[in-house]
Structure 1
Amino acid sequence: MTDFLIEDAQAPRAIKGRSLWEDARRRLMRNPAAVVSLYVVALLVLIAIFGPMLWVHKYDEIFRDSVGIAPTFENMHLLGTDTEGRDMVARVIAGLGISLLVGACATAVSLTIGVLYGAIAGFAGGIVDDLMMRFVDVMYSIPFVFFVIVLMTVVQLDSPELNLVLVFCAIGAVEWLTMSRIVRGQTIALRRKEFVEAARASGAKPIQIVLRHIVPNVLGPVVVFATLNIPVIILAESFLSFIGLGVQEPLSSLGSLLARGMGQMQAPWMLIAPAVTMLITLLALNFLGDGLRDALDPKER
């Protein structure tokens, strides 16, 4: 009979648990609408990035002998041309890229301001919190469109590229208000947690606690808000371009293409192509945002 030594026994294998982000990813992958929307958004982004390089025509190339023609395979004008002789496929691809760029950049601006502002207000509390949030209330009382229109009218830029930067800075500068309120509420719930008290006891400064401990723990609602906010910003930019205060020629966004198409009803392809593209983009982003909301916070379903 052989002796059994304790040292000979195999140590039990540690069971590797799943992180909250892994659980969220699994829940997202079980949502068919969100998965399809994710692929559609990825495809749209790839088209916006590589489409201008791969398509045979440039967005500002003018064909004098093909002005306002209907969709045709001749010379690869698959969606026709506009009233100036520019290929509509190239214009729609360029407009999609501009709209997605404005949505992403304006969302980045709003998140940077809103997350820091809300986290500082919620962590500081007291009179600092009251003053900061009263400023947000005052900003809420100013109509969003009025503020952006005044800014776009007062600041006149000759370069279309600089005007584009002004567009997403102007939109992002007012879209941070809701984000600041969301982050403030989350911060108030977190500031008395054990890990924050431990950071205080270890001598961490308030700004270090906010940046290293508070902000990383509010990323779930931030990601959800960012995804749902992109289509809102795209619609806002489209409205500004529709009334002539957004993206300027020769650049184009989906909103400016819709505005031009509305004025050319004898050429319906100029309206249908950007309208369908915007519809697909907004639907995909909204379904993806809903899926992320359910995945990151399943209690809200």
Structure 2
Amino acid sequence: MNEQIAAEADTHDFTEEVKGVSLTQDAWKRLKKNKMAIFGLIVVTLYALVSILAPILPLYSYSHQVLEHVNLPPAIFNGFKNAGELWLEKEEAYLQLVLKSENRNELTQAERQKLAGIRDKIANQVAENEDGEMVNPHTRIYLLGTDYLGRDMLARIIYGGQVSIMIGLLGTLVSVVIGIIFGALAGYLGGKVDYMIMRVVDVMYGLPYMLLVIILMAIFGNNIYNLFIALSLVSWLTVARVVRGQIISLKNSEFVEAARSMGAGTWRVIFQHLVPNTAGVIIVFSTLRVPQFIMQEAFLSFLGLGISAPYASWGSLVQDAVEGMSLNPHRLFFPALAMTLFLFAMNFLGDGLRDAFDPHSKNRQ
């Protein structure tokens, strides 16, 4: 009886269908166990959704100026008061400082008339908004305050995030594509091709990276397209080295020999067999490159070589806010917070992907 049960169990083991697990599925399983990586993925997804849906969100124009609303404090810290109330409070606070500095107890007639004029404007002024409608601009509520030209900080941060994230993603995409092509050719072909490509990489590595970008921006002009090109053209070097190393370790594998024996050409072997097998490393490296591009753009904007008006980026918003940060700290705090949170999220996600795709990782869950 026992022998019969054992035989049936053995038969069952041989006939049972075993489902394989792909590298991507296995990586996703490990990634889900990494709480910080999932947090980063959620934050990055939210940023992406807000940036994509910005045109249909109920936001004020990022470029529309209301000069009466210059440097208004955030409504979220002031009882969600509208722009008119905050403007009046700001003028009254200023006049109180004038009284204190001049050792006076009462406002002058001119000062009273000024406040009366402001109250009248708040109640009755009508102006054309971004959509061409005639409305009272002082009923606006600026959740994160306004900048030095009376523009809504919330809208500028969201649209600035569009520009910063676009530069990070497109710059990473271009640099990765260039790096894959040169790195794969150098690793697979070897010999003189490898020597020439890697010597070019070594020479460019010896040059100061940011200085090259600054020179390119100074020569070709200060606009978003030149910034994107300048960052991309000198950022593919590390990708090429990483891909070259991966290709060298794989080019003598059995699946490559099998592809060659079936008549596959050089380009087919490289881009249909070798490069897909380095996808994990490339994905991880790409997620870690996006924050670097955003930081580089922010640095250039801080120097005045980045995004120019009317466009904005997180870096240009921080640069605009530095001069008046003691009087209007909200102009510096909110763009810096938005950029810092996104950069942390991308780094958490990149670290999580690195651990998930690396089967020998010491942090494997």
TM range (shorter): over 0.9
From 217, 231, 245, the equivalent of 1:152 is 217
From 34, 37, 42, the equivalent of 1:34 is 37
Tell whether 2:234 aligns with 1:169.
no
One-letter code of the match for 2:229? Answer: C
One-letter code of the match for 1:14? Answer: E
Which aligned pairs between 1:231-246 and structure 2 lie closer than 5 A?
231-246=291-306
The residue matched to 1:76 in structure 2 has which SS? coil
Q: CA deviation at 1:52?
A: 3.9
The answer to whether the 8 Å contact 1:59/1:90 transfers is yes
Alpha-carbon displacement from aligned partner over 1:47-101 (angstroms, at most 9, x marks no partner): 1111343133011011122111111231120111001010000011011111110
Which aligned pairs between 1:127-276 and structure 2 lie closer than 5 A?
127-156=192-221, 163-265=223-325, 266-276=327-337
Structure 1 CA distance for aligned equivalents of residues 359 and 301 of structure 2 = 37
Q: CA deviation at 1:300?
A: 3.1
Tell whether 2:63 aligns with 1:60.
yes
- Structure 1 match to 2:172: 107
Structure 1 CA distance for aligned equivalents of residues 21 and 282 of structure 2 = 22
One-letter code of the match for 1:34? Answer: A
Structure 2 CA distance for aligned equivalents of residues 14 and 217 of structure 1 = 27
State the 4+ residue runs in structure 1 displaced beyond 4 angstroms.
none
Moved more, 164-173 or 209-218: 164-173
Segments of structure 1 that go 5 or more residues without pairing to the other structure are 1-8, 158-162
- Structure 1 match to 2:24: 21
The CA RMSD measured in Å over matched residues stands at 1.5
The residue matched to 1:175 in structure 2 has which SS? coil
Tell whether 2:342 aligns with 1:281.
yes
The answer to whether the 8 Å contact 1:52/1:58 transfers is no
Task: Give the TM-score normalised by the residue count of structure 1.
Answer: 0.93
- Structure 1 match to 2:52: 49
Structure 1 CA distance for aligned equivalents of residues 237 and 251 of structure 2 = 21
One-letter code of the match for 2:34? Answer: N
* Structure whose CA Rg is larger: 2
Alpha-carbon displacement from aligned partner over 1:259-291 (angstroms, at most 9, x marks no partner): 011011211110001011111011000000000
The answer to whether the 8 Å contact 1:52/1:94 transfers is no
Structure 1 CA distance for aligned equivalents of residues 68 and 59 of structure 2 = 17
Structure 2 CA distance for aligned equivalents of residues 47 and 282 of structure 1 = 16
Structure 1 CA distance for aligned equivalents of residues 59 and 339 of structure 2 = 22
- Structure 2 match to 1:295: 356
Moved more, 133-142 or 67-76: 67-76
Q: CA deviation at 1:128?
A: 1.4
- Structure 1 match to 2:137: none
Alpha-carbon displacement from aligned partner over 1:8-66 (angstroms, at most 9, x marks no partner): x9993422111111000000001011011100110011111113431330110111221
The answer to whether the 8 Å contact 1:55/1:90 transfers is no
Task: Give the TM-score normalised by the residue count of structure 2.
Answer: 0.77
The residue matched to 2:163 in structure 1 has which SS? helix
Percent identical among aligned pairs is 45
The answer to whether the 8 Å contact 1:52/1:93 transfers is no
One-letter code of the match for 1:28? Answer: L
Moved more, 65-74 or 105-114: 65-74
The residue matched to 1:16 in structure 2 has which SS? coil
Alpha-carbon displacement from aligned partner over 1:153-176 (angstroms, at most 9, x marks no partner): 11126xxxxx21221221111111
Q: Report how many residues are paired.
A: 288
Moved more, 180-189 or 43-52: 43-52
Tell whether 2:190 aligns with 1:125.
yes
Structure 2 CA distance for aligned equivalents of residues 214 and 121 of structure 1 = 13
